[in-house]
Amino acid sequence: MEYWLNFSMIEIDQLIPLAQAAEDLGFAGISMGDHLIFPRDLKSPYPYSKDGSVMWRPEDHWPDCWVAIAAMAASTRTLRFTTGVYIAPLREPMALAKALSTAAHMSGGRVYGGFGAGWMREEFDYAHERFEGRGARMDEMIEILRKLWTGVMVEHHGPNYDLPGVQMAPAPPPIPILVGGNNDAALRRAARNDGWIGVHRTFEATQSLVSKLRAIRTELGGQGAFTLMLNAFRTTGEDRAQIARLGFDALVLPVAASSPEGGLNQRVEGMRRLAGELGLA
């Protein structure tokens, strides 16, 4: 099992030096979270906390994922990158296809597209995108992305988008599409694509989700490579051993949460301690 780091809420000027340090310490990849804005009056409940409250402040940094990933990729050699997750239905599909394919080119094929349907209604309202039907819209967006990434002339005619004949060049290196979320709709969507990005609460809950996902994959006749990635805010060595036994490819551990007020040097030192605990080279 690989160990990745979650760079959500990290100050933007620390991203490149922290990515370089992560590569030197033996971490396999970086995950970036995504939000466009933070509303003054947030009523939508956050699905990954007990009381529905978020774990960040309005002033915490949420840079554009693909710009940040391209910059970090240009400053590293082997580190891989994913969004964990990018709120695809907030965007227009051609613009998303262009941004992600460019990041894939700039990284030499070290990018995954980690997508989620989103949970914050206010964000959709301010972006003038429909909150209802966002899951079905994301399914159609993924279909369009895969067509555009072929680099040839394509058409698409669906309930939400219509492309009479367009071509996007150059064709990018292969971009696996992973789907985030712990509910049944997210699991089914992940099973139809290239992988799943889950959020760890307890071992029993994660084990149940993996079992459901594998059952859905069997039902759909899923074959070939399928990436299992798990975000975990706090884990012990025993937790990590149990997660590895479930067949996860990558465990994503937080940087900001372990040193919320940390400067660059403190964060690098925290990453160094974590790498030692994990036995990384």
Q: What is the distance between the alpha carbons of residues 211 and 209, in angstroms, rounded to a whole number?
A: 5
Q: What is the pLDDT of residue 231?
A: 95
Owner of token pair 């030692």: 276
105, 173 in Cβ contact below 8 A?
yes
For residue 47, cis peptide bond before it (omega within 30 degrees of 0): no
Query: Average pLDDT of 152-178?
Result: 97
Share of the chain above pLDDT 70, in %: 97
Query: CATH number for the 2-278 domain, one of 3.40.1050.10, 3.20.20.30, 1.10.3720.10, 1.10.1380.10?
Result: 3.20.20.30
Percent of the chain with pLDDT over 90: 89
What pLDDT is recorded for position 10?
Answer: 93
The per-residue pLDDT for range 182-237, each reduced to its tens digit, is: 999 999 999 999 999 999 989 999 999 999 999 999 999 988 899 999 999 878 88
Judge whether residue 281 has pLDDT over 80.
Answer: no
Q: What angle do CA 111, 269, 245 make, to 5 degrees?
A: 55
Distance CA 151, CA 172 (A): 8
Indicate whether 178 pLDDT > 90.
yes
Domain-wise residue ranges, the chain: 2-278
Look at residue 194 in the predicted model and tell me its pLDDT. 97
- Which tokens hold the place of 219? 């039902």
pTM for this structure? 0.94
pLDDT, tens digit, for every residue of 68-122?
999 999 999 999 999 999 999 999 999 999 999 999 999 999 999 999 999 999 9
Secondary structure of the chain as H, E, C letters: CEEEEECCCCCHHHHHHHHHHHHHHCCCEEEECCCCCCCCCCCCCCCCCCCCCCCCCCCCCCCCHHHHHHHHHHCCCCCEEEECCEEHHHCCHHHHHHHHHHHHHHHCCCEEEEEECCCCHHHHHHCCCCCCCHHHHHHHHHHHHHHHCCCCCEEEECCCCEEEEECCCCCCCCCCEEEECCCHHHHHHHHCCCEEEEECCCHHHHHHHHHHHHHHHHHHCCCCCCEEEEECCCCCHHHHHHHHHCCCCEEEEECCCCCCCCCHHHHHHHHHHHHHHHCCC
pLDDT reported for residue 55? 86
Of 30, 27, 24, which is closest to residue 1 (Cα–Cα)? Answer: 27
Round to whole Å and give the CA distance between 264 and 95: 33
Q: How many CB atoms lie within 10 A of CB 55?
A: 15
Predicted confidence (pLDDT) at residue 257 exceeds the cutoff of 70: no
